[in-house]
Amino acid sequence: MSPARAEPAGGGSTAQDQVRRLLTLVPYLREHDGVTLTEAAESFGVTPQRLREDLNVLWMCGLPGLSPGDLIEIDMDAVDGEGVIHLTNADYLTRPLRLTADEALALVLALRTVREVTGKGERQAVDRALAKLEAVAGDRARAADQADVNVAAAAEDVQATVNQALREHRRLHLVYDVASRAETTRRDVDPLRVFVADGYGYLDAWCYLAGGLRSFRLDRIAAAELLDIPVAEHDVELPDLSAGWFTALRDADLVTLALDPSAAWVAEYYPMESVTPAEGPAGETGALKVSLRVSDPAWLRDLLLRLGGGARLLAPSGAGDSAAEAAREALDQYAALAGLDTVDR
């Protein structure tokens, strides 16, 4: 197991974090019998005190029945006295994982998505895993073929550089297109992770130009250069994506839209903070007033352009300016092509 990034100051850890750690901790300790508490803590990116708390929880876990012979055994005297960890009576966790066809199908779809944001070397490993899972899924794997896995990712050379930077914990120099401002920027970043959300690949990184954590659309990275500088430690906590990206970004801007009946589908397609009935044009029924969290101004601009006259931005003021400007530019180009002096706006 490669060392993990140290947890932020304050040592915050959710129950989900701890469960994930515990599931990984048992096989790690079986392979590293006698590892010191400090070394194990560094491998998992937590403090020794946090890991000791994990061991206390793990000590009470085991097979159903929870009789003494069913529980995982940890020599806590050795932990307290010598600072080393010995784990026994957990052989059942080395048994091969047996997947149902439905479980294998879900993993097939997930891996096909991951494949879109991997480099050439990693893709070979993903393809080998996919072949094994598709064999387990059997006929159910055909259902996965009906799903269109299409992720907007980086060019292959850019993706390979980003992945190498993540593996080697090195800084990146990016040439990045900022769609909301129609400009190209150059910036140094410390890469933290790559993820997929809403059909797009993203890089979470500490941005030295912005002075904080930023998410970069992979398909908007025009070029990436691997620098011979190790990443620094930053006092940041990455959003928890387990419940979805929009749920994780609760601090994003709250945007309120008025949707005509033709655009009401938006309320079902995207996570909403609130949805209330409203009166549409000419008193039509089926119109809605909705509020949703938006972290990427370019995403909002694209949505408003897609909806056209079917949506009106109510708040915050100015959030739709880029969409209006893009629409005006499109109309001007149309007028130029058509040989018109003006276009009715």
Domain residue limits, the chain: 15-94, 101-145, 156-230, 245-337
> What residues does 200 pair with on adjacent strands?
152, 197
DSSP string, 84-97: B--EES-GGGGSPP
Cβ(309)–Cβ(258) below 8 Å: no
Q: How many CA atoms lie within 13 A of 315 on its CB side?
A: 8
Give the count of alpha carbons within 13 A of 340, CB side only: 9
| Secondary structure (3-state) at 253 | strand
Tokens for 314?
């109510």
How far apart are alpha carbons 253 and 294 in whole angstroms?
Answer: 5
Residue range 245-337, CATH number:
3.30.70
Measuring CA to CA, how many Å separate 202 from each of 22, 214, 293, 300?
28, 10, 18, 17
- Rounded Cα distance between 204 and 248, Å, is 13
Please give the CATH number for the structural domain made up of 15-94: 1.10.10
Cα separation of 148 and 134, whole Å? 16
Angle at 15 between CA 14 and CA 21, to 5 degrees: 95
Distance, CA of 145 to CA of 140 (rounded, Å): 9
* Sequential pLDDT tens for the chain (345 residues): 333 433 433 344 566 677 778 878 888 888 889 999 999 988 888 889 889 988 988 877 776 555 556 678 889 899 999 999 998 887 766 555 566 767 777 777 777 777 776 766 667 777 788 787 777 777 766 665 655 556 667 788 888 899 899 989 999 999 998 754 567 889 999 999 888 776 778 899 999 988 888 888 888 899 999 999 999 988 887 766 655 554 555 557 889 999 998 888 888 767 788 889 887 766 677 889 999 888 778 778 888 888 888 898 898 877 657 656 665 666 566 566 666 554 454
Give the C-alpha separation, 251 to 227, whole Å.
32
Number of residues that this document lists for the chain: 345
How confident is the model at residue 309, as a pLDDT?
85
Tokens of 184: 């190209």
Nearest Cα to Cα of residue 205 among 192, 222, 224, 186: 192
In the CATH hierarchy, which fold is given to the domain comprising 156-230? SH3 type barrels. (2.30.30)
The per-residue b/e assignment along 156-173, b for 16 or more CB within 10 angstroms, e otherwise, is eebbbbbbbbbeeebbbb
Distance CA 141, CA 18 (A): 33
Angle at 281 between CA 278 and CA 284, to 5 degrees: 65
Look at strands 212-217 and 274-278 and give their pairing.
unpaired
Rounded to two decimals, what is the model's pTM? Answer: 0.44
